[in-house]
Structure 1
């Protein structure tokens, strides 16, 4: 198999936009193929053959190698295509720190986002309860600690961890807005990330508004039912 790297896409998905952001930093030309989740395309062949977890994003490299999970995809792309290791350091301790931040994004931040989304969009929630919002703020407190002494999540340079976490936060703020008095380091870091990636807003700025509109519409519909 030859040709472009294929990315199976859902624009609203933070993990998809993480991969798009990293790929652009690496000057990779992706072939984007949209996946119609509303009509269950992700649950049918040939997609489920590529990715039995039927999630987005899924990436298929030019040789036919398929991989999913945005954190894994980004690490793979940097290891294979980057000119240097700055986005995903090869130094053992720096890479361990980067992996830890990526796992924090996957197991703390994104899980909380998914829980809120499922509550509203699939379980008919009429409001987002405090017991779902409080864990988001608890995760913010940990993130503040991560940023206590360094400008980025892994020292002095932008990594795929910064990209993953910052994009997840964009939608988390729909439920738990960051506060300048409680989260000054996060807010300063977000500004720094956006300044370091000049096209960050081009890829990501419209999604939080679209997501918020979708959630608010679902909440209103659920209240009327």
Structure 2
């Protein structure tokens, strides 16, 4: 049996969530770069693996799984040494699942709306998108409460999923320490993980540089 293969590019927050999980469990994996912006997800070969042509996609023992949430819970369940990242206790697991659904239904879409607003010339769209992101921060602050992590007192895959998005957003919409103390402390704690830079930081830096270039070009071409 070969190594699990992760298809995608590390600029993608969803891919970075998978990489964070893989590093946390010590998984020996291969990363195959597949860039949707270059239509590399729409080749006949890739469509056989994932007809939705999305990244990340995981191939493990000849079987394919896509959607980052499905992938990280699968990896933690199959390869982790214990169940701390994705608890077997039904209540604790439900809390983790809720946070993952929050990422997919609230935080993720609001991040995409914010990205779209940057490409818009509508000031109100930008302001509405910013308001939506700050509202998501408010929810995350409440999720953490007096705990150390988003789903309780121990690190879980929910932290990885939200960390990948939050670490991207906070570069453009900062989280104020006074308003979001729990969230800021959580981010500081996770950014010190020994595998953070390799699994998340390197890809994040590519996103920041690409965004700065996009803004510069838009400013240069403005009438």
After TM superposition, is the score higher than 0.5? yes
- Kept in 2, the 8 Å contact 1:133–1:175? The answer is no
* Structure 1 partner of 2:33: 34
Does residue 185 in structure 1 map to residue 185 in structure 2?
no
Q: 1:100 aligns with which of 98, 101, 114?
A: 98
* Structure 1 partner of 2:213: 217
Deviations 1:185-215 (A, max 9, x none): 10111122234x3221232224344323322
The alpha-carbon deviation at position 168 of structure 1 amounts to: 0.9
* Structure 1 partner of 2:113: 115
CA separation in 1, counterparts of 2:30 and 2:146? 39
The alpha-carbon deviation at position 58 of structure 1 amounts to: 0.2
Alignment of 1:93-172 (within 5 A): 93-120=91-118, 124-126=119-121, 129-172=126-169
For structure 1, which runs of at least 5 residues remain unmatched after alignment?
Answer: none
Moved beyond 4 Å, runs of 4+:
none
Q: 1:108 to 1:134 in 2, by over 3 A?
A: same
CA separation in 2, counterparts of 1:204 and 1:39? 22
CA separation in 2, counterparts of 1:43 and 1:61? 20
The alpha-carbon deviation at position 115 of structure 1 amounts to: 2.0
Q: 1:216 to 1:125 in 2, by over 3 A?
A: farther
Q: When the two structures are superposed, what TM-score results if normalisation uses the length of structure 1? A: 0.90
Q: When the two structures are superposed, what TM-score results if normalisation uses the length of structure 2? A: 0.91
CA separation in 2, counterparts of 1:221 and 1:140? 30
* Structure 2 partner of 1:199: 195
CA separation in 1, counterparts of 2:95 and 2:75? 19
Alignment of 1:4-83 (within 5 A): 4-62=3-61, 64-83=62-81
What count of residue pairs does the alignment treat as equivalent? 219
For structure 2, which runs of at least 5 residues remain unmatched after alignment?
Answer: none
Deviations 1:20-58 (A, max 9, x none): 111122221111111132321112211122112211100
The alpha-carbon deviation at position 119 of structure 1 amounts to: 4.2
Secondary structure (helix, strand or coil) at the match of 2:120 reads coil
CA separation in 1, counterparts of 2:148 and 2:55? 30
Deviations 1:58-95 (A, max 9, x none): 00002x11001111101001111122100000101000
CA separation in 2, counterparts of 1:189 and 1:220? 32
